[in-house]
Amino acid sequence: MIETDREHTLMKKSNKQKWMRLLVAAGALLAVIFIFSRSSMLSEAYMRTAYPVIATLFSFISGIFPFSLYDVFIVAALIWFTGMILRVILRKITLSAFFYSLLRFTLIVVAWFYLSWGIAYFRDDFYTRNEVEEVPFDKENLHNVTLRFIANANRSYVITDEMDKEDVRDVIEQSYHQHHQELRLPDPNGKRRVKAMIFESIYSKMGVSGYFGPFFNEIHVNNYSLPFTYPFTLAHEMAHQYGIAPESEASLYAFIVCAGSSDPMVRYSGYTSVLGYLLRDVRRLLPNAYDSLLQSIRPEIIADLQRNSAHWMAVRNQSLSDMQYKAYDSYLKTNQVSSGHDNYSEVTGILISSYDVFIEK
């Protein structure tokens, strides 16, 4: 009996020490994240020095596998979590052991996320990082840029019914290489494998055309996408891979890279993919000019935009779409993107400020 009591006492002491170590680790991790979140200078230094090394390593490892390691990881995590709950129900483990394992796993995932890419959310904003003067987002500037944008979009029109995705990837890689200095990006050495989505049909119902998997530095593009939208989506996800976190900035970088490409189809993809954001802001801020600007767009471009909208609406599931919207909105707001999901639409503001810098120099 005495020996049993002693073993019980030692076990309680050991468990207490385990919890203390875990809580100390949690506190240290939160402190590190807090420090980075309050210092754009430190975050910028990390993304310019440590991140390229991490990204190169992870992209090399993930490139060995033809399937998405990110998707496999998410599935494995869900299976593990479900299994742990079942073990608690079946009394194979205690509730305390379950919460200990859950907290430990969460700490690993959070640390992995931020150190492998997530610190990108805390770096300098676009204007500071690229030394671009912010131009007022007013009606006059919006109207002027939209007029010039539509003229360039009309000239960029090409028929895009077919494409070679590997060739498109090569073209965009080359364009990033040509523009990396002016965009203040690390030179994208090597080739990045574009991964298919394991649950593509579900993502299509949510309206997700692509995403970046930060844990293994993987790019995913939905093969359901129409050919003329595919290059822009790929360039957008590549921008995330190069350390650009906000959606608006990733869209701007994708547009600059596409518009500056040597491939006509890639250029057209850039213009048509951003045109919708401009038109939405014109309708909101310049309702009297909207119809005339819309009529100045080539009918073939309007037809492509309408075809793309109908293409995605044909498979959309409202419930899944709303769930994805709310989840991603919360995720972005948690990572200091105050506008949440609406950040996608904020590309117009930085486009107005940078159009003469990067497009019509």
Q: Given 87, 122, 157, which residue is the final one in a domain?
A: 122
The boundaries of the domain holding residue 227 are 126-359
- Please check whether residues 203 and 300 belong to one and the same domain: yes
Distance CA 33, CA 194 (A): 30
Distance CA 81, CA 103 (A): 12
- Please check whether residues 87 and 226 belong to one and the same domain: no
- Please check whether residues 134 and 57 belong to one and the same domain: no
pLDDT one-digit tens code per residue, 51-87: 988 988 898 899 899 999 999 999 999 999 999 999 9
pLDDT one-digit tens code per residue, 9-62: 555 666 788 888 999 999 999 999 999 999 999 999 999 999 988 988 898 899
Coil/strand/helix, residue 141: helix
- Please check whether residues 287 and 147 belong to one and the same domain: yes
* Burial bucket for residue 87 (CB in 10 Å: 0-12, 13-18, 19+): middle
Task: Compute the mean pLDDT over every residue in the chain, rounded to the nearest whole number.
Answer: 88
Alpha helix segments (H runs only) across 117-229: 126-130, 139-156, 165-179, 200-206
Distance CA 241, CA 219 (A): 7
- Please check whether residues 162 and 198 belong to one and the same domain: yes
Coil/strand/helix, residue 66: coil
Q: Residue 210: in which H helix or E strand, if any? A: strand 210-213
pLDDT at 17: 84
- Please check whether residues 195 and 307 belong to one and the same domain: yes
Distance CA 52, CA 49 (A): 6
Is residue 255 within 8 Å of 231, Cβ to Cβ?
no
**Structural domain count of the chain:** 2
- Please check whether residues 252 and 111 belong to one and the same domain: no
Confidence band (pLDDT; 50, 70, 90) for 2?
very low
- Please check whether residues 138 and 215 belong to one and the same domain: yes
CA dihedral 290→292→297→298, nearest 10 degrees, is 140
- Residue 350 pLDDT greater than 50, yes or no: yes
Q: What is the pTM of this model?
A: 0.91
Q: Given 122, 141, 168, which residue is the final one in a domain?
A: 122
Output 321 or 261, whichever has higher pLDDT. Answer: 261
